[in-house]
Amino acid sequence: MSQSQGARWYGAGRTDVGLVRRTNQDALLLRNELGLWIVADGMGGHAGGEVASQIAVETTASLMTALLESGDRHGGHHQEGLRKAVIESNAAIQAEGAKRPEYKGMGTTLTALHVAGFPQAQATLAHVGDSRAYLHRAGTLSQLTKDHSWVEEQVRAGRLSEDETATHPLRHMLTRALGIAAHVEPDMLSLFLLTGDQILLCTDGLTKMLSDEEILDILARFRLDAQSACDTLVRRANEQGGQDNVTVLVVSDLAGGP
């Protein structure tokens, strides 16, 4: 596969069980040669969450790989292909749940990134749930995705404050996830990337433990070392309590300056 699919953009990642959970129900995918990166955070009893996140990542990756390796490099086709891959992942999770009673009701978040184009790189994001994508650009950190959670929707509607969400009894309730309903529509976002940009994909095991300011500081300090940025983010999340599985993935333009 030609490197031009994700030209000059490379990802590093790390996933960790944390300090409280017994199993890691997060999943991640790193396909630098395709310009494709995914994080997912599973939920469900027994091993259901782990199964759901793996199905989501593997199904999305398989369908996108087939599209990208077909030689189709049209950006609009990539966006629609990624959308359809996520929708198919939802169907695959539901099908597995129907076959295995112990997995009934399992689900997962999913945030997927595809980068294509050279010299002007275009990023496409597909998002379901409360895992997140951030853009680190010119010293600022911007959240690209909106959490599909009850409390965040109340905040956006002006019914709850950010401070109230930290202890609200419904703070863990998702309003959209893969595997829960017969059909799910992912949020889609496309943007052009600039030299020096970083994109962070992460599960809520990171954002529950670290503020945006702490995340920005670590990304800035390790601007030219994505793996060290990931390792440090995970270590700091655990130092702050490690209350959940934590998965981080940093995608950057290695040609960018510090």
- 234 near 193, Cβ under 8 Å? no
Please give the structure tokens belonging to residue 41: 């955070």
Amino acid of residue 28: L
**Is 137 or 45 the better-scoring residue by pLDDT?**
137
Mean pLDDT of the region 76-100:
93
* Largest CA-CA distance found in the chain, in angstroms, rounded: 52
Domain 3-252: give its CATH superfamily.
PPM-type phosphatase domain (3.60.40.10)
What confidence score (pLDDT) does residue 17 get? 97
Share of the chain above pLDDT 70, in %: 86
What confidence score (pLDDT) does residue 169 get? 60
Amino acid of residue 152: E
The Cα–Cα gap between 61 and 63 comes to: 6
Q: What is the 3-state secondary structure (H, E, C) of 13-66?
A: EEEECCCCCCCCCEEEEEEHHHCEEEEEEEECCCCHHHHHHHHHHHHHHHHHHH
Amino acid of residue 200: L
- 79 near 123, Cβ under 8 Å? no
- 245 near 41, Cβ under 8 Å? yes
- 244 near 20, Cβ under 8 Å? yes
The pLDDT tens digits for 90-103 are 999 999 999 998 89
Q: Is a pLDDT exceeding 80 seen at residue 171?
A: no
- 178 secondary structure, DSSP code: B
Domain boundary assignment for the chain: 3-252
Mean pLDDT of the region 180-189:
96
The Cα–Cα gap between 247 and 89 comes to: 20
Q: Is a pLDDT exceeding 90 seen at residue 234?
A: yes
What confidence score (pLDDT) does residue 2 get? 34
Mean pLDDT of the region 206-216:
97
The Cα–Cα gap between 216 and 227 comes to: 15
Least confident range of 1-10, 98-107, 120-129, 244-253: 1-10
What confidence score (pLDDT) does residue 1 get? 31
What confidence score (pLDDT) does residue 47 get? 77
The Cα–Cα gap between 233 and 246 comes to: 9
The Cα–Cα gap between 205 and 222 comes to: 20
Mean pLDDT of the region 58-84:
85
Helix %, strand %, coil % of the chain (to 5): 35, 25, 35
**Is 78 or 86 the better-scoring residue by pLDDT?**
86
What confidence score (pLDDT) does residue 5 get? 46
**Is 76 or 114 the better-scoring residue by pLDDT?**
114
Average pLDDT, the chain: 89
